Amino acid sequence: MKRFLYLMLVGGLFSLLLAINTPFQRRARADSIPRKLSKDILQKVESGGGSEQVRVIVQPAGSWDSQLDSAVQASGAIEVHSYQNFPLRVVTMSADAAVDLANDEKVTYVSLDREVRTLGHLSATTGADKVRTASGPNTNGFDGEGVGIAVVDSGIDSGHKSFLDKSNNLRVIYNEDFTGEGRIDDPYGHGTHVAGLAAGNGRIANAKYLGIAPKANLINLRVLNSEGIGSTSSVLDALDWIATNRTVFNIRVVNMSLGTPAIDSYRTDPICRAVRRLVDSGLVVFAAAGNNGKDANGNKVYGGIHSPGNEPSAITVGAANSFATNDRGDDGVASYSSRGPTRSFTVDEDGVRKYDNIVKPDLVAPGNRLISAEAVNNLLVTENPSLDAGVSSVASRKMMYLSGSSMATPVAAGAAALLLQANPTLTPNLVKALLMYTAQPLAGYNTFEQGAGELNIAGAVQLAQLVRTDLTSTTGLGEPLLTSSEVPAPQTTVGTFTFTWSRGLITNYTYVTGESLITKYQLVYRLGNLLSDGVVTGDGVLITNPELISDGVVTGDYILTSYGVVTGDGAPFLAVLALFDNSLLDGGFLGDGVVTGDGVVTGDGVVTGDLVATAQSAKLKGDNTATMAGEPDDGVDCDDY
């Protein structure tokens, strides 16, 4: 009898636990896969709506196969919809079932089939949409109007609708070819896509693919030929032209979504030196980090930063993956995005290499599977038809997918145009500081992967409007930087997600933090200086230079893996001192067998667009599965952008 009662008691308790634990088990499973399940599905389950039928997009880890079809059917899915060119399914199922399906190893991401609005995904997730509405002293918001962005690339297809203004005037205001081919269009297709991300208008597909600065002017400087290849000399020709003509076209921003292996130290690399000249003259120069973040087996590699991304004065941009959602809570660094430190080097008298080992990138921006303008009959789409996004059959309205740090870079360049419209007096160093200080640290990624964090345009523009416009070369160290004594709350909300700013800057070998960076004028913000000039080395220890940086600024001792809060709040990844020890790096963390891009030259002096080697890294495993499906264009121009 006792045994019977015992079994009854245990059996009843087990049933009770099973009944009450099911939602908690599902929550535990959901918590274990935060990068595979969109936050809004989890919120629905947590609020008691787990049994509610929802439309979700299911994306496979690899190719879609019959086993995954069976798993979807077994989940109770109905109304399964597939695409001809995209390996995903749109299905209706319960929110609980969506959580369970996300646990399947063949599934890489499950998200809600959200409402499509007139504002684009890229402009929404970066915070650009927030600054287009009435803001501060500018009652029309910020859209880059009047600011010139020089696109040093493979050309721009000026016939594309994305580059007109609202009066049908072309915003590509100057074109020049430096390849010797005698043409200024874009037969390769890279530069047009880049230009559209920085400054494409919203005419097509009801403004779904709106660029960051849709009223900025574009200067088309073609240095990559019909196959996407150029030379150091052609790049230098373009940069030289910029230095001569920058005031004529009000060029404030230079975008360089290209690169060459960073062999020579930035101190001797001719492109780096030219970039430094431009920055010292007042231009903000953006450079792609590169796409060498993993090897052929998918393993992480470090040290793959391209030139001129290894130049300290440039703003070097890596690629983030937004997983096709406007909510930034699920964002991460794209696996292919090049990681630091820089491995360009000098050779001493004994023949020993002395690596630069600078912390790069400076920040990351969305760069994965972005849709932007497609140049007519371009080589990339001809060789890879799946890159066409299926938006339109009209040549001047076609859009295409591309991925990589090449795509992230013009997103940041467009952001700089907005900052300079908000406050034209900003120096390049101040633009760089504001972008890093307001960036969102991404949890689980170290500083070599994300720099200060992910681009936050809304926060950066908010601060830019508060920076004094009367700063000069004689402004003293520690004087007020802002026009207001009240410091804005260091948080931004994009969509439904609120995040805290990094509140720190990357400075060559480490980072610095502190509110003084935005409340007090630092001499490192002047023209001709570097942000890193404020941090000096003494007996292997990095300290702030009191002649260049005021009190209230803290220097870090470690390269950190972020907790996703603020700069300086994370787990130690590598001691800063190790960056000065070439022998330690060569024998351990950054040994020559581990690092890429540190001695391999493809042709002497050849520059290639940083997507060429991987046939548009949209094909890279693990990063091309989350995408905004191309929304068809109705052929009617949208002027509400």
Residue numbers annotated as active site = 153, 190, 406
d(CA 328, CA 492): 11
d(CA 229, CA 227): 6
Report the 10 Å Cβ neighbour count for 600: 8
CA distance 244 to 239: 9
The answer to whether 435 touches 416, Cβ cutoff 8 Å, is: yes
- Residue pair 337/318 in contact (Cβ under 8 Å)? The answer is yes
- What distances in angstroms separate CA 111 from CA 66, 323, 327, 463, one per listed residue? 21, 9, 11, 33
- The per-residue DSSP string of 432-451 comes to HHHHHHT-BPPTT-BHHHHT
Tokens of 304: 């793959």
- 236, 245, 271, 278, 312 from 240: Cα distances, Å: 6, 9, 10, 9, 19
Integer Cα distance of 465 and 426 in angstroms: 10
H or E stretch covering 73: helix 66-74
CA nearest neighbour of 358 among 411, 316, 407: 316
The answer to whether the CB of 429 falls within 8 A of the CB of 413 is no
Name the phi and psi angles at 234, rounded to 5: -70, -35
Other C-beta atoms lying within 10 Å of the C-beta of residue 571: 11
What is the Cα–Cα distance from 127 to 435, expressed in whole angstroms? 12
Question: What is the per-residue burial (b if ≥16 Cβ within 10 Å, else e) of 502-513?
Answer: bbbbbbbbbbbb
